[in-house]
Amino acid sequence: MTFPTPGHDTGLWQAAEHELTAALGGRPLVAAERFASSGRTSYSGPAPIAAARPALAIGCYEPWVPAAPVEALTLEGRTPVRSVDRRRSWMADLDRTAQAAIRRHGRPVVAAWYATDQLRRWAGPGGTVAAIDAALRAEVEDKANFGDILTASGVPAALHLTGARVDGPLPGLGELRRLVRSERVVVQCGADSGGRGTVFVDDEDDLARAAEMPGPYRVTAFVTGWSANTTVLSVPDHAGRLRVYVDRPSHKAVGVPEAGIAAGKSAGNTWCLPWPEDAAARLVDAAVRIAHWAWDKHRIKGLFGLDALLDPDGRVFLNEINCRNQGTTEASAVNQQLRGLPPFLIAHLTTMLDHPVTWLPDPDDFNTATVDAATNPGPGPYYLKLRHRGDVPVRLDHHLGLPGVHRVADGRLRWVRPGAHPADAGHGEVLLANLPAPGTVCEPGAELGTAEGITTAADAPFASPHTLSKAGRALLAAFDRHLVPADRQEGTAP
């Protein structure tokens, strides 16, 4: 687990920071994401890039030192409550306050998943939203269109799921099964994230739930195996040619009831498990093809993600594109750092601001090394989502301490030292990130943070596509011991 140190190719890091600084051009960087610590793997840890630390972060959850931006505005900071509703409404709840806070910073560069009219209002006159336009993102991410994208990109048919697009009402269950030649059917629609817009259909009740979603639909056969996420970076050069860099694919656990994660939703990812060489090579080739299609047709550049399925026979199938930053962006950046490069996020911000990126290596060499890293993996990053799985409000007890590096001892978590980067956690340790502040009331279903680190296959948090490993279960059991019932009045603003 060797990371760059001050004596290790500092010129590369200096070039990345210099180009990001030049792209910002003296304008303050403002992050607008649910986690006010977003981007921390770029500006904290063993190889920090100071220019990536936001001057202001606006989000739902409070950051912590040393993950904090220079200044933060969060919904949790105003009212110490976490809930499903608040994580969906935080931008609307902070709207006026956010506009006022950003305007105190002059002409900002707002980094976000995608550019909406609301964010453009936040940026104000002279401000910039460094993200894909929301309307274009919705068009490209629409699950009903994905089969057409694969065909238009020239992705080989062997990587396509058996399925079809349905523009009208969904047919009956028997007809759907005949259409995709599978007993279990997957119905998808729209451009939502986090597993929303996907229904696994086993019976008539499932079909009724799927039919409640607005069409058009993508209907595919269910594939048994691991879900996967791959981060892709597209960077045009000075001549308009596109350089495409494909990160090592993950193993993503979905539908993990013991972690409080419903069917079709992600419990987290790990990048330390091996891929079959042929499947990894096919996935990398497909990612490059899709990136070129997106650039040629829509001039899409920067970061995007591909979701895939790896079946027990080692075959890979593509099932979704996420044309933006993702939940994996934070942890997957560690893959690049382990390979001696600054995170893709630095290049993403630089190229989204139309500034050239010169420090990246040859893309063919990089992608060849990606296949090798996926096939013969060394240590890799992971993250496991922490959710409140109970039925009553809770808060963290005072024994757990602050976010940072912890160790499981005697069935409980013991705070070891500060930390904000997965590499801060050594062997037998874990980084607990984005924990609620002491006294914060957490409603059922609330996000409680993430458990992160760098590990090998022997200590990965997931044992199968839908189950935790022994280490993962021990970690959640220890974490649960620090949850105590809370009175909702505790989270009431003074």
Q: Give mean pLDDT, residues 175-202.
A: 85
pLDDT at 400: 86
- Mean residue pLDDT of the chain comes to 93
pLDDT at 46 over 60: yes
Task: Note if the bond before 63 is cis, omega within 30 degrees.
Answer: no
Residues 6+ apart with CB under 8 A from 190: 142, 143, 144, 196, 197, 213, 214
- Name the residue type at position 121: R
Kindly list the distances between the CA atom of residue 242 and the CA atoms of 245, 356, 357, in Å, as whole numbers in the listed order. Answer: 10, 12, 12
Q: Say whether pLDDT at 493 is over 90.
A: no
- For residues 198 and 232, the model is more confident at 232
Report residue 111 as tokens: 């980094």
Cα(426)–Cα(449) distance, integer angstroms: 19
Can you give the pLDDT at residue 4?
62
What is the rounded distance in angstroms from the CA atom of residue 319 to the CA atom of residue 195? 12
> How far is the C-alpha of 172 from the C-alpha of 207, rounded, in Å?
8
Q: Enumerate residues 6+ apart whose C-beta is below 8 A from 415.
A: 400, 401, 402, 404, 405, 406
In tens, the pLDDT along 129-181 reads 999 999 999 999 999 999 999 999 999 999 999 988 999 999 999 999 999 99
Write the pLDDT tens digit of every residue in 97-121: 999 999 899 899 999 999 999 999 9
Residue 5: pLDDT above 80? Answer: no
The pLDDT value recorded for residue 3 is 66
Distance, in Å, from the CA atom of 390 to the CA atom of 387, rounded to the nearest integer, reads: 9
- pLDDT reported for residue 8: 61
Q: CA 313 to CA 323: how far, in whole Å?
A: 29
| Cα distances (Å, whole numbers) of residue 339 to 77, 248, 420 | 37, 11, 20
pLDDT computed for residue 337 by the predictor: 95
Q: Above 70 in pLDDT, residue 191?
A: no
Q: Which residues contact 365 (CB under 8 A, 6 or more apart)?
A: none
**Res 487 pLDDT > 90:** no
Q: Which residues contact 438 (CB under 8 A, 6 or more apart)?
A: 395, 396, 398
Which of 36-40, 263-267, 269-273, 316-320 shows the lowest mean pLDDT across its residues?
263-267
d(Cα 264, Cα 410) in Å, to the nearest integer?
34
Mean pLDDT of 472-487: 94
DSSP-assigned letter for residue 329: H
pLDDT in tens, 425-474: 999 999 999 999 889 999 999 999 999 999 999 899 999 999 999 999 99
Mean pLDDT of 190-201: 76
Q: Which amino acid is at 150?
A: L
Confidence of residue 494 (pLDDT cuts 50, 70, 90): very low
Neighbours of 230 (CB within 10 A): 24
- The per-residue pLDDT for 326 is 87
Query: What are the pLDDT digits (tens) for 330-355?
Result: 999 999 999 999 999 999 999 999 99
CA atoms within 13 A on the CB side of 339: 26
- Which residue do the tokens 């019932």 mark? 485
- Over range 370-381, report the average pLDDT: 93
Question: Three-class SS of residue 258?
Answer: helix
Q: Quick one: which H or E segment has residue 134?
A: helix 134-141
pLDDT of residue 239: 82
What pLDDT shows up at residue 320? 92
Question: Per-residue pLDDT averaged across 18-34, rounded?
Answer: 97
Is 236 exposed, middle or buried, given 0-12, 13-18 or 19+ CB atoms closer than 10 A? middle
Edge to edge, the sheet with strand 81-82 lists 81-82, 441-442, 394-396, 483-485
Across the strands, what pairs with 235? 243
Q: Residue 302 — left, alpha, or beta (φ > 0 → left; ψ -120 to 50 → alpha)?
A: left
Spatial separation of the C-alpha atoms in residues 476 and 386, rounded to whole Å: 8
